[in-house]
Amino acid sequence: MRFGPPAGLAALALGLAATLVPAPTIAAPSAQAAPAQFTHPGVLSSRAQLDFVRAKVQAGEQPWKAAFDQMLASEYASLSRTPKPRAIVECGSSSNPNHGCTDERQDAVAAYTQALAWYITRDAKYAKKSIQLMDAWSGVIKDHTNSNAPLQSGWSGSTWPRAAELIKHTYTGGWPHQGRFATMLRNVYLPEVVNGAPRKNGNWELIMMDAAIGISVHLDDKASYDKAMGIYLGRLPAYLHLKSDGAQPKYPPRSSIDTRSELITYWHGQDTFVDGLAQETCRDFGHTGWGIAAALHVAETSRIQGRDLYPELKDRFRHALGFHARYALGEAVPSWLCGGTVTRSLGPTTEVGYNALGNRLGIPMEKTRQLTESRRPAGADNYFVAWETLTHAKNPN
């Protein structure tokens, strides 16, 4: 199935008022992945990370100030935005038909954008706008239908809890329908994503787990968190290859793919496997970037929740980022890779991984650094990746 490549976004300003709520070594995959108590806010960004960002923006330091200005000037930060909820969001392959698909994704990104603006400025008007967008959808939506329903639920379901975490746990101005929003996440989104999509391209399942993990954190749902983390840890080695895995990639768990010929077809015809190659590399870099971004989002949330996956996954991530960054920067494609041709549209998907590995762990990642810094500030891709230069560039927390 094809979906449009991630689109870019743009640009930018500031405000002020209202109040705030007062403020490990990896285990093997197990049935108990969830923490004893969830940390809030704790989906993709922690309070410490956001406080770091706020201080940098207030001090006018770069790249955070430019990233904030870009965000505030975008359509997603408009205080006159009118939400467009639907009871039934119908999304076919490539979002065709598109009955509410774009509207839902963009309203979710807008709610997250407004929540970030609230946290950084302390201006209550942004919190109120985020709440308005979330309330509009929680009062209307009942279901997702057609073939893209799981992926659509993953795109939007990844973003909604990022907004909800910030508003519920940092804004004291009141959110009367917060319970209704949580019920929406539990009843409309979580069932659509938490079981994964074992036979689809890997970006589907990783995006769905990004959503399932974020929703589970917001709902304090340990059982769903455990289930999603188990699927994630099984899928990731079948999506990003390391030579230490063996002569060929791992078969995707819970799928019917179990022969080498089926595996090569699943890897879009690629039959030479090297460190960092992804299951969708030879499809296009846009979908591959989505898969990598979603995988990094889960690792970042897991770290906030007390289980740091990066030491265990660092080689898989660093090789995947570096491999694709080389070609995104324009390096000639060898004939053994995708028949000598790749589509290089990686999208704004490297900031979280570069910060986690290059900055926090100190791993040399020159190509990833070059690509990441050359594209700052990273904007929003209209799907589920948004403002990651702002939230994660050089963030030590």
Give the orientation angle of helix 222-239 with respect to helix 310-328, to 10 degrees.
Answer: 50
- For the chain, what is the mean pLDDT? 93
Fill in the DSSP letter of residue 356. I
Q: Is residue 25 part of a domain?
A: no
Strand partners, 145: 90
Per-residue pLDDT averaged across 363-380, rounded?
Answer: 97
> Distance (Å, rounded) from C-alpha 144 to C-alpha 142?
7
Give residue 297's domain range. Answer: 52-392
Q: Is residue 37 part of a domain?
A: no
Q: Is residue 9 part of a domain?
A: no
Q: Is residue 156 part of a domain?
A: yes
> Distance (Å, rounded) from C-alpha 34 to C-alpha 311?
18
Residues ≥6 apart with Cβ < 8 Å to 86: 99, 100, 103, 104, 140, 141
Q: Is residue 383 part of a domain?
A: yes
pLDDT at 89 over 80: yes
Q: Is residue 65 part of a domain?
A: yes
pTM over 0.95: no
> What's the structural domain count of the chain?
1
For the domain that residue 231 is a member of, what is the CATH number? 1.50.10.100
Q: Is residue 236 part of a domain?
A: yes
Strand partners, 380: 386
* Confidence category of residue 3, pLDDT binned at 50, 70, 90: very low
The model's pLDDT over 134-150, given as tens digits with 9 standing for 90+, comes to: 999 999 999 999 999 99
